[in-house]
A and B are shown apart, each in its own frame.
Chain A
Amino acid sequence: MGQIDRTSIPEVADSPREADQPHESLIAHFGADRPLKLDAGVELSPFQIAYKTYGTLNAERSNAVLICHALTGDQHVASVHPVTRKSGWWETMVGPGRPIDTERYFVICPNVVGACMGTTGPSSTDPKTRKPWGLEFPVITIRDMVRAQAMLLDHLGIESLFAVAGGSMGGMQVLQWAASYPQRVFCALPIACATRHSAQNIAFHEVGRQAIMADPEWRGGRYLLENANPRRGLAVARMGAHITYLSDAALHRKFGRKFQDRENPTFSFDADFEVESYLRHQGIAFVERFDANSYLYLTRAMDYFDLAGDYDGTLANAFAGTPTRFCVVSFTSDWLFPTSESRAIVHALNAASARVSFAEIVTDKGHDAFLLDEPELFAIVRGFLDGAGKARGLFAMS
Chain B
Amino acid sequence: MSTLTRAGSNLNASTVAGTPGSARVDLVLVAQMVDYGAKVLDVGCGDGELLRLLSETRGVDGRGIELSREGVNECVAKGLAVIQGDADTDLGDYPDDAFDYVILSQTLQATRHPRIVLEHMLRIGRRAIVSFPNFGHWEVRLQLLFAGHMPRTDILPFSWYDTPNIHHCTIKDFRQLCTAIGVKMEKAVALNAWGSPLRLNAPWWFWNLFGEQAVFLLSRKG
Contact = CB atoms under 8 A, between A and B. Distances in A.
Main secondary structure of the interface of B (DSSP, over half): mixed
Contacts of B95: 351, 353
A327 B76 CA distance: 8
B84 A383 contact: no
A355 B79 contact: no
A335 B100 CA distance: 38
Interface string A327-368: 110000000000000000011001101011111111000000
A380 B77 contact: yes
Given A357-B83, A376-B73, A387 B93 contact: no
Interface string B64-100: 0000010011011111111111000000011100100
Q: Which of A346, A380, A386 has the most CB of B within 10 A?
A: A380
Interface string A84-113: 000000000000000000000000000000
B78 A357 contact: no
Given A327-B76, A360-B69, A353 B81 contact: no
Nearest to B79: A387
A20 to B, nearest CB: 42
B188 to A, nearest CB: 29
B78 A387 contact: yes
A81 interface: no
Contacts of B83: 328, 346, 350, 356-358
B76 A359 contact: yes
Q: Which of B72, B85, B93, B98 has the most CB of A within 10 A?
A: B93
B18 to A, nearest CB: 21
B61 interface: yes
B63 interface: yes
Nearest to A382: B77
A23 B94 CA distance: 49
Contacts of B69: 359-360, 362
Nearest to B91: A350
B24 to A, nearest CB: 22
Contacts of A347: 93
A379 B79 contact: no
A387 B61 contact: no
B76 A384 contact: yes
Contact of A388 (B72, B77, B79): B79
Q: Which of A328, A351, A356, A387 has the most CB of B within 10 A?
A: A387
Contacts of B73: 359, 361, 376, 379-380
Given A355-B63, A355-B81, A357-B83, A350 B93 contact: yes
B72 A359 contact: yes
Interface string B149-164: 0000000000000000
Interface size class of A (residues with CB under 8 A): 20 to 34
A386 B77 CA distance: 9
Contacts of A252: none
A384 B84 contact: no
A316 B95 CA distance: 11
A380 B63 contact: no
Given A351-B95, A353-B95, A355-B61, A387 B72 contact: no
Contacts of A382: 77
A115 B34 CA distance: 52
Nearest to B72: A359
A358 B72 contact: yes
A396 to B, nearest CB: 14
Contacts of B63: 355-356
A351 B94 contact: yes
Interface of B: 61, 63, 69, 72-73, 75-85, 93-95, 98
8 contacts: A351-B95, A353-B95, A357-B81, A357-B83, A358-B76, A359-B76, A379-B77, A387-B80
Q: Which 10 residue pairs of A and B lie closest in terms of their CB atoms, listed nearest first?
A: A387-B79, A383-B77, A358-B83, A379-B77, A357-B76, A347-B93, A380-B76, A359-B76, A353-B98, A355-B81
